[in-house]
């Protein structure tokens, strides 16, 4: 598993930033660069994504595997305590880690994900997951990514950043997404019903910030309200954004900085 680091490697204050289902750790370059004045920031590529290796057995693309990998990463960098920012899948990984007895997680940001993931949102994601299309240019790949990714109000430079780090150019000149299409096998098996992880959520005893894209179909208004009913949970809604806010502007970074600082 590969990861990108920001800040002073000797800083005992560690922030882990973990991406969504088909994304990569470089999604957090903007956030990490801003928070590296306070933290050693670690942004992993979850197995099968980014520059991390693909798993030989596709059935191993599970949260149990991801939790084991994250614990190994924290041990490798010598982190005894960590703050966590997780987008979508990365938020659920953080929640599962925070629910464990003796968790190393001090504070948790769950970006556009709830302990219950609606079937309708899973079906939407499953419609494009694992298709492994081929593109004649990076521009065409970026256009396809934009068509299924309601990330909000981003600049052309930010869209290009998000595209280039989840893509690769083949020897024949064509472009593909970097993620292993095999992750779709386990995902689609799980998307036949709502995914309910409420038992783990109820075991989380640390402060949580729930961030929501105003137009998100994954973290619906009802689910967001349920999250805010939990003691110790605060919230923030990002306007004109679906699933998921990309944390690439100063206002969103400021919300996270203020939450982590208190």
**The model's pTM:** 0.96
Residue 3 and residue 25 in contact, taking contact as beta carbons nearer than 8 Å: yes
Kindly tell me if the per-residue pLDDT of 131 is higher than 90: no
| C-alpha 261: how far from chain center | 21
Per-residue model confidence as pLDDT tens digits over 33-88: 999 999 999 999 999 999 999 999 999 999 999 999 999 999 999 999 999 999 99
In this structure, how many other beta carbons lie within 10 angstroms of the beta carbon of residue 70? 24
Neighbouring-strand partners of residue 210 = 110, 235
In this structure, how many other beta carbons lie within 10 angstroms of the beta carbon of residue 81? 13
Per-residue model confidence as pLDDT tens digits over 183-232: 988 887 766 678 899 999 999 999 999 999 999 999 999 999 999 999 99
Domain 3-117+196-261 superfamily per CATH: Alpha/Beta hydrolase fold, catalytic domain (3.40.50.1820)
Q: How far apart are CA 193 and CA 118, in angstroms?
A: 8
The C-alpha angle with vertex 53 and arms to 148 and 18, in degrees rounded to 5, equals 55
Per-residue model confidence as pLDDT tens digits over 138-159: 999 999 999 988 999 999 999 9
Distances (CA, A) of 87 to 116, 118, 131, 137, 243: 15, 16, 22, 28, 9
């Amino acid at each position: 598993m590969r990861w990108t680091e920001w800040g002073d490697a000797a800083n005992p204050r560690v922030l882990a930033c973990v991406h969504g289902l088909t994304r990569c750790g470089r999604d957090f370059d903007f956030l990490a660069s801003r928070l590296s004045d306070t933290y050693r920031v670690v942004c992993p590529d979850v197995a099968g994504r980014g520059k991390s290796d693909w798993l030989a057995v596709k059935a191993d693309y599970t949260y149990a595997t991801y939790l084991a990998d994250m614990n190994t990463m924290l041990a490798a960098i010598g982190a005894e305590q960590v703050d966590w920012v997780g987008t979508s899948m990365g938020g659920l990984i953080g929640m599962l880690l925070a629910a464990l007895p003796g968790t190393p997680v001090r504070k948790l940001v769950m970006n556009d994900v709830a302990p219950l993931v609606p079937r309708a949102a899973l079906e939407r994601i499953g419609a494009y997951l694992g298709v492994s299309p081929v593109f004649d240019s990076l521009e065409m790949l970026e256009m396809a990514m934009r068509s299924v990714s309601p990330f909000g109000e981003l600049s052309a430079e930010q869209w290009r950043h998000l595209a280039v780090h989840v893509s690769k150019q083949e020897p024949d000149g064509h472009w593909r997404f970097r993620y292993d299409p095999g992750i779709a096998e386990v995902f689609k098996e799980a998307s036949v019903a709502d995914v309910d992880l409420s038992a783990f959520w109820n075991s989380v005893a640390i402060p949580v910030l729930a961030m929501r894209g105003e137009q998100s179909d994954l973290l619906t208004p009802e689910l967001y309200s349920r999250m805010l009913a939990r003691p110790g949970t605060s919230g923030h809604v990002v306007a004109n954004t679906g699933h998921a806010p990309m944390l690439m502007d100063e206002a969103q970074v400021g919300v996270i900085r203020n939450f982590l600082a208190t």
